[in-house]
Amino acid sequence: MGINLHSFKKRQLLYITIIGFGMLLTGGLITGKLGLFSSSAITDEIRLASNSDVATADQRIKIERLLKLIQQRLLIAHDVARWKWNHKRPIEDRKREQDLLAKVRQQATTYNLEQDVVVAFFQAQIEAGKLIQKADFQNWHQQGAKSFTNVPDLNKAIRPSLDKLNTEFFSALVDINPILGCSTIQKSIESRTQILLQGDGIDRQVQSLAIKPLLGRKSTSCPNNSI
């Protein structure tokens, strides 16, 4: 039987076309899958990076909230000093200080915080505030200052404001306590202090004293995405 050369060539061309189309289709599917895999991997990376950024931002918020509360308390020290100056009262009020420290020691248990840590923190805020008051008294003595006008009353206005701040301090300490022992967090506290803990009378000595209790703890279980 003779072979129809023309038909053979047509069938050969058809086979090549089918094979080529199959390879092209298979390659497209593989490429598509690789593309999907690559896209999925990138999406996962973005998601992980986003989660890390959110956690880091959350840590910064906790640090800055605490520092801003410290700043508020330190600035109130000027009103305390003016009231004491007007009423010729000494800066030191040991009974008031001991009563406050005894109160926060009891409250520490309620907030599930270490008593000694809480007492050290509030003691530091008291001492830092007294540094500001002493500087004010020294300046006023040198200036021969008389009585000040429009000074808030210590018992009716200033102390209630301080008590409110103390409650906010506990909330802020609870938030930051789990990460406070991390060296990276402590470094961030120090760096943010130079930026946020500013104002009349808040010099380096006052800053250092106010944040000192926040820098002494050590922890081996720090979050991987700590600042």
For the chain, what are the domain ranges? Answer: 57-214
Looking at the domain that runs over 57-214, which CATH code has it been given? 1.20.59.10
For the chain, what is the total number of helices (H) and then of strands (E)?
6, 0
Give the pLDDT confidence score for residue 223 in this predicted structure: 66
Residue 194: C-alpha distances to residues 90, 133, 197 (Å): 30, 21, 6
Identity (one letter) of the amino acid at 146?
Answer: K
Give the residue among 66, 74, 84, 114 at the shortest CA–CA distance from 209.
Answer: 74
H/E stretch holding 146: none
Distance, in Å, from the CA atom of 47 to the CA atom of 53, rounded to the nearest integer, reads 10
- Residues with Cβ within 8 Å of 190's Cβ and at least 6 positions away in sequence, in order, are 211, 215
Per-residue pLDDT, 28: 47
Judged on CB neighbours under 10 Å (0-12, 13-18, 19+), 30 is exposed
pLDDT score of 158:
98
pTM as predicted: 0.76
- Residue 202, φ and ψ in degrees, nearest 5: -90, 85
List the pLDDT tens digit at each of the 227 positions of the chain. 444 545 544 555 544 444 444 444 444 443 444 344 345 544 544 444 444 444 489 999 999 999 999 999 999 999 999 999 999 999 999 999 999 999 999 999 999 999 999 999 999 999 999 999 999 999 999 999 999 999 999 999 999 999 999 999 999 999 999 999 999 999 999 999 999 999 999 999 999 999 999 998 887 667 665 55
User: How far apart (Å, rounded) are the C-alpha atoms in residues 170 and 12?
Assistant: 85
Dist CA 201 CA 129 (whole Å): 10
